Chain A
Amino acid sequence: MDFLGEVFAFFADGANWVGSAGILNRTLEHVGLSAFSMVVAGLIAIPPALFLGHTGRGGFFAVSVVNIGRAVPSFAIVALALPVSINLGLGLGFWPTFLALVALAVPPMFTNTYTGVREVDPGTVEAARGMGMTGGEILRGIEMPLASPVILAAVRVASVQVVATATLGALVAWGGLGRYIVDGFSQGDNVEVFVGGVLVAALAVFTELFFGFVERRAVPSGLRVAASVGDGQIKILPQPS
């Protein structure tokens, strides 16, 4: 049988879809851990970034965090999460993957939220203050809605990166779709490797499109800025992983 035929046969075989090592369960694991990591990372990154952006403090910190984050390869973050997790007594599998994904998602969300709030027109904030709005009201009623396109774009970028990197969790004995790739490599089974690659690629593209859709629906229509290219500078671009 030719290669693509074997790949089709893999997908056509119902036995490959069910069970703990089936495609459905692997996808569920992959999406579940990614979502959980994103929620935790969002809680760690966004509230302090909103506060610092509102007060205008910590700008240097915000920029440094993302620059350092960009230079550390995601593969290295996953690998370094393993000794950390083991020394914390958390073992293999779920925890090192979770720690790595959170560490990966925090910097882009923190920095972009911070920048988004900072870049709100100071005139608007001034006007709100003049109307007697308190700091909290300004943050909730003015800065957060106006920064929402940038914040949502940051969430999209981080989610795609997290879904991509969750694949590497298979190297620290976690499940997810990366299992097909890592097991396929170690058994020299190109069909399994290919299947894993296709599934991970599809999930990543789906994540990007899904969050793009959410962004278009959630952002107030008056605010649809091009979050990617503005005056010749790329503002928000994910780091491929």
Chain B
Amino acid sequence: MILAQLEGQPIVDWDWVFGHLDDIWAATSEHLLLTGIALGVGLVISLALSLLALRYRKTYTPITWVTGILYTIPSLALFSILVPITGLSVLTAEIGLVSYTLLILIRNIVAGIDGVDPAVKEAAVGMGYTRRRVLLQIEFPLAFPVIIAGIRIASVTTIGLVTVAALIGKGGLGFFILQGLRRFFTTEIMVGAVMSVVLAVVIDSLLLLIQRALTPWARAKATL
């Protein structure tokens, strides 16, 4: 009976979409906010850990090992483990989301800075640059295309994962996907899915434009 409801349903019921533009907008902003917080916090933690790894090489393996394990744990499993501790809250969602950005960001920051031509660094040191100035004015700008490539992957990934957080009540557009599943209503699933893909593509393109504008010397190849 319920299944029959799904059969022969139009893929998108446009009346429903136009009747719920406010809800869609609200969910989209929540989605962006959750993604933004995760990326911001993830970036701060990743920068700190990357600096540590660059300064003390021995820490790089354990750092990638731990963040690698975090990365492997499915988001729904991580949320489930956290719920008894931090409840059905934004904090639970963000701990999960942040933990998935770390591996990607740290690997790209470290690889980016490692990839800077040693001759350039040497020239800077020869000109009397301090270690800090070499890092801030030479290494970071030159590593920027690789770092942005990491941020792009991390943001597309995070936008996708936010939808899963709908199961703990904080899913942005994932809310529609879950509601659609519960009510056997394809339109809602489509709205959630299509909007999160659109969001991912828009954010990814914006980041690419930012990178092109800030580092016109580097046309970094697209990362798979």
Contact = CB atoms under 8 A, between A and B. Distances in A.
A196 interface: yes
B153 interface: yes
B161 interface: yes
Contact of B221 (A70, A80, A184, A233): A233
Contacts, number: 180
B78 A185 contact: no
**Is the interface on chain B under 10, 10 to 19, 20 to 34, or 35 or more residues?**
35 or more
Given A79-B181, A190-B84, A196 B193 contact: no
Contacts of A232: 108, 111-112, 114-115, 146
A3 B156 contact: no
Interface string A204-241: 11001000000000000000000011011111111111
Given A73-B164, A79-B181, A204-B72, A240 B6 contact: no
A229 B61 CA distance: 13
Nearest to A171: B181
A47 to B, nearest CB: 21
A167 B78 CA distance: 12
Contacts of B223: 233-234
B17 interface: no
A239 to B, nearest CB: 6
B69 A205 contact: yes
B177 A240 contact: no
Contact of B72 (A83, A160, A190, A234): A160
A198 B167 contact: no
A87 interface: yes
Interface in A72-111: 72-76, 79-80, 82-83, 86-87, 91-92, 111
A171 B189 CA distance: 13
Contacts of A3: 84
A41 interface: no
Interface string A134-164: 0000000000000000000000000010011
Contacts of A234: 104, 107-108, 111, 149-150, 153, 223
A184 B80 CA distance: 9
A103 B194 CA distance: 16
Contact of B200 (A71, A198, A204): A71
B197 interface: yes
Interface of A: 3, 63, 66-67, 70-76, 79-80, 82-83, 86-87, 91-92, 111, 115, 160, 163-165, 167-168, 171-172, 178, 181-182, 184-185, 190-191, 193-194, 196-201, 204-205, 208, 228-229, 231-241
9 closest A-B pairs by CB: A197-B80, A164-B74, A76-B193, A73-B160, A200-B77, A197-B81, A232-B115, A201-B77, A71-B200
21 contacts: A70-B160, A71-B160, A72-B193, A73-B161, A75-B177, A79-B189, A82-B6, A86-B6, A87-B7, A164-B77, A171-B178, A181-B167, A197-B77, A197-B80, A198-B77, A200-B76, A233-B221, A238-B71, A240-B157, A240-B161, A241-B161
